[in-house]
Structure 1
Amino acid sequence: MAQQPSTTATDRLWPATVANQMMLNLLSYQTDLWQRSVLHLDTLRERANNMLEHERAGKPPLLDFDYETVLDGRRLERPANYALLRITRVGDDCLEDCLDATKPPVVIVDPRAGHGPGIGGFKRDSEVGMALHEGHPVYFVAFFPEPVAGQTLGDVLDVLRRFVETVAERHPGKPPVLYGNCQAGWAIALLAADCEGLVGPAVLNGSPLSYWSGESGVNPMRLAGGLMGGAWLAHLLADLGDGRFDGAHLAVNFESLKPANTLWQKDYELFADIDGQRERFLDFERWWTGFYALSKEEITSIVGNLFVGNKLERGELKVCPGCTVDLRRIRNPLVIFASSGDNITPPHQALNWIPAVYPDTAALKAAGQRIVYLLNSHVGHLGIFVSARVARLEHRAILESVGELNDLAPGLYEMRIDNPTGDPDCHKPQFRVHFEERRVEDLDYPDQVPAFERVRALSEHNVALYETFLGPWVRLMSNPWTAEALRQLHPARTSRLLYAERFNPWMDSVKQLAASVASAREPLNTDNPFPQWEALNSAMIGSWLELAGTLRDGASEFAFRGLYGWPLAIDEGIGTESA
């Protein structure tokens, strides 16, 4: 009989050692999980408190720079709730000795699309920071939480023009560089295209000018107007707000685009790395949770004339009596910065107005216009404005190249940045910027005009029905009390304020518990397998939510095509029978 191999004491103890180690790992993970849960709740508590504190302070601009008010738009002949600020100091450093007198001033305009001002300069590595670093005098256009009663889009544009003229008077001979983020970008385009025009170069970051453009299955927001029946809903919400449109509605629209991020990923990233992500999360949420209002006249004009009517691209938008905005009037150089990863303002919406206005390259050159576009391959919509990496490379490259724009011959160019070092903090000549000439004919985006023309017609019909039959009753029942109640009860507010001690006294115990947890906090061993299991489950949840969002967007696309995408032959047949 063969002799069995002997079993050593070490061999007998090995399974027990593994089991003990697994048990220790599990206990460590459970302790860490409990600590992260407490700290996560405490972070949500602090976010709610920051939200309340910001509101009590009057929601000032969230700039990481000192500033002085140069002009208050509420005190002008045609008032609007905007203010022109001049950046005066960075921390303890006065700027006067750092500015280059030969460089033009930069005017940065933040978007007024539901949130407050500050996204262009709420940290040092930002558009404001890069402009200061390059030696430009910097001005910032802020706005107040509440609109002036009855202010219109024309009033806003008039105030913005006064701001630009004021900056130009302060720096004679150096036309200001205008920086417009998202909504502010198309506002600058409106100024450049109206009857007076602009002189200095304009940089449009993630700014939609061609509102019907987009890629099927990728850019679902442009379909919302058709699926909701047009602009009548903006009229209703503004009437319920007693003439004010709550910016929280727009914030919810943005969040609904990516349910996986809104419902899970953003919070899980904070929860998974509560020690490293806490301050970053709170800094961003200070801006994201500051909801600002628009007047009914503004929001209905924006939705009806731009997003649903697409009148800017078509040259049919009137901002004042006797003056129609025509994009062919733009003579100042334009830099258009867009990203393929932006599902709110994709390159289609940022660029497709060019072939709509200029049928070919020869027409663009004959107009004497210079248009430069810069494309990022992956950054999202907000990343165009807030990403430190984008600020340190793309925005720095734009500012360092502003002087070269006037030297370009009329035409269309793509701005290319060659950065062999891969370092976003490098300067010229470490990276090289060159402008490659392009053809207008190559901007070949799908034509989706017929379907959206039907949306526009239905929207005008529904708005007329609402204003005739339903609107008067809604306005009769609305008053400041009901409007404020609806504002305070908006889910975008209540879901956050629920964690404040003012509304939830139990959160005070969380604050005290979090202090003791933070003092005893120890990092988890990197070889513990349970965090990997947690991350795997989180990824699975995120994937399911992404799938749900994809299915929802596909269903929206299918419904939109069913409602508005009929073949042309059927339309012609209906028109013949009706005649």
Structure 2
Amino acid sequence: MNLVSKNWEYLKIVTDIPKDYWSTKNEVVLEKENLKLRRFKNKSKSSNNAVLILPPQAGHSSNICDYAPDQSLVRLLLSYGLQVYATDWQSARLNQADLSIEDHINLTDDAVEKIREETGLDSITLIGQCQGGWQASVYTSLYQDKISKLVVAASPIDFYAERDFMNDYVDDYPMEFFEWLVKLGGGVMKGDFILKGFKSYDPYQHYIKKYQDLWKMILEDDKEGIERYKRFYNWYEYTQDLPGKFYLEVVEKIFKKNGMINPGTIVINNTSVDLSNITCPLFLLAGEKDNITPPRQCLEMANHVGTPKENIVQVTTKGGHIGTLTGSSALKKHWPKVVEFIENYSQTA
């Protein structure tokens, strides 16, 4: 068998990697609606801090926070002795089409209460990645007493602080267009629609260059490169559907109305979301080359919270969106600073 045929056969088994693959041993300790709460086993617990990771709900699996054995935020946190949990949002079924932002915040509260019950802690740390960042911020503004520290990474908090293609996309189309997309999905927003939208932003990269790069790896017998391709392919191409009501509320309230910095736009359980209610230590992590969430969209949160300036840490990586969330460089250089913040930062730092 020649080199090309050998590697082509190897590539064809791309589907052998499970689509909902978590690289670290864990146990589902809570399951409700479209949420699974995963608890990760820590053999050398040395910290009294418990951390809940809220991964993005943007059409892909939550396992981005535990992407691979050598590229895992979960494993990094465990290596420092932290007690680690993650929300694993499931693809929405048609009977879950009416789940709202409020429902997701209430589910997050269920997860926090489960962690408090298991650990005996009064408050925990929240880490919100991308879309999970605004969810973590909403939650903390409502339940500050349950959150000791808040970490927001590559998240659209002030959506108009710095424009990118997402602003044009949201501004150029009326709500009727997004409602039509949900109707096409039978009441849910199809993850495949979201994926096609991201690909249309850079069609050359997604439809030409990545295959050129793959062909080069095949010719060079680059098994490690092909393995990385398979891993990313399975995460990126395997999509999840979002509840239609949740998706439409996000488009209207988080994006069009920039509701995270406009109190009264988002109301949860009859209470207005106001970031000034957040007073705990805050760590903001943004990516210099992030073309999904430009850095200012995240970093401007510092000007809207009640946390004293001296208790706010702002860090910008050299990477892009995914690189900031789970890239090897960010995990080695920047996320350990987050751990130091969790372990050592106090209200009076």
Give the CA deviation at 1:405. Answer: 2.1
1:114-171 Cα deviation digits (max 9, x unpaired): 1112010021231101011111121121022224242111111101011112212222
Write the mapping of 1:329-348 to structure 2, written as runs, cut at 5 A: 329-348=277-296
Q: Which residue of structure 2 aligns with residue 238 of structure 1?
A: 182
1:224-280 Cα deviation digits (max 9, x unpaired): 12222x322221111111111101122222223333321333222222123321111
The answer to whether the aligner puts 1:325 opposite 2:268 as a matched pair is no
Give the CA deviation at 1:192. Answer: 1.0
Q: Which has the higher contact order (CA 8 A, sep 6+)?
A: 2
Q: Which residue of structure 1 aligns with residue 89 of structure 2?
A: 143
Give the CA deviation at 1:332. Answer: 2.0
Structure 1's 408 and 375: CA in aligned 2 closer, same or farther, altered over 3 A?
Answer: farther
Q: Which amino acid aligns with 1:62?
A: Y
Q: Which residue of structure 2 aligns with residue 117 of structure 1?
A: 62
Residue identity (%): 23
1:350 pairs, out of 275, 292, 298, with 298
Q: Which residue of structure 2 aligns with residue 209 of structure 1?
A: 157
Q: Which residue of structure 2 aligns with residue 397 of structure 1?
A: 337
Q: Which amino acid aligns with 1:181?
A: Q
TM-score, structure 1 normalization: 0.56
- The answer for unaligned runs of 5 or more in structure 1 is 1-30, 75-80, 89-94, 410-579
1:157 pairs, out of 74, 97, 105, with 105
CA RMSD of aligned residues (A): 2.4
Bigger radius of gyration among the two = 1
In 1, are the aligned partners of 2:54 and 2:129 still within 8 Å (CA)?
yes
SS in 2 for 1:317: coil
The answer to whether the aligner puts 1:306 opposite 2:254 as a matched pair is yes
2:32 pairs, out of 73, 87, 97, with 73
In 2, are the aligned partners of 1:40 and 1:271 still within 8 Å (CA)?
no
Q: Which amino acid aligns with 1:233?
A: F
TM-score, structure 2 normalization: 0.90
Give the CA deviation at 1:195. Answer: 6.2
Write the mapping of 1:392-431 to structure 2, written as runs, cut at 5 A: 392-406=332-346, 408-409=348-349
Q: Which residue of structure 1 aligns with residue 40 of structure 2?
A: 87
Q: Which residue of structure 2 aligns with residue 287 of structure 1?
A: 235
Q: Which residue of structure 2 aligns with residue 127 of structure 1?
A: 73
Q: Which residue of structure 2 aligns with residue 496 of structure 1?
A: none
- The answer for unaligned runs of 5 or more in structure 2 is none
Give the CA deviation at 1:393. Answer: 2.1
The CA distance in 2 between the partners of 1:401 and 1:300, in whole Å, is 35
Q: Which residue of structure 2 aligns with residue 45 of structure 1?
A: 12
The CA distance in 1 between the partners of 2:145 and 2:176, in whole Å, is 32
In 1, are the aligned partners of 2:191 and 2:241 still within 8 Å (CA)?
yes
SS in 2 for 1:352: helix
The CA distance in 1 between the partners of 2:92 and 2:177, in whole Å, is 21
Give the CA deviation at 1:210. Answer: 0.7
In 1, are the aligned partners of 2:257 and 2:265 still within 8 Å (CA)?
no
1:166-205 Cα deviation digits (max 9, x unpaired): 2122222463221111011110001011266642211111
Moved more, 192-201 or 380-389: 192-201
In 2, are the aligned partners of 1:191 and 1:197 still within 8 Å (CA)?
no
The CA distance in 2 between the partners of 1:42 and 1:253, in whole Å, is 31
1:381-432 Cα deviation digits (max 9, x unpaired): 01112212211221122102323321545xxxxxxxxxxxxxxxxxxxxxxx
The CA distance in 1 between the partners of 2:144 and 2:150, in whole Å, is 15
Q: Which amino acid aligns with 1:261?
A: Q
In 1, are the aligned partners of 2:189 and 2:242 still within 8 Å (CA)?
yes
In 1, are the aligned partners of 2:98 and 2:243 still within 8 Å (CA)?
yes
Q: Which residue of structure 2 aligns with residue 108 of structure 1?
A: 53
Structure 1's 185 and 43: CA in aligned 2 closer, same or farther, altered over 3 A?
Answer: farther
Give the CA deviation at 1:323. Answer: 0.8
In 2, are the aligned partners of 1:123 and 1:129 still within 8 Å (CA)?
no
Give the CA deviation at 1:83. Answer: 1.1
Structure 1's 289 and 266: CA in aligned 2 closer, same or farther, altered over 3 A?
Answer: same
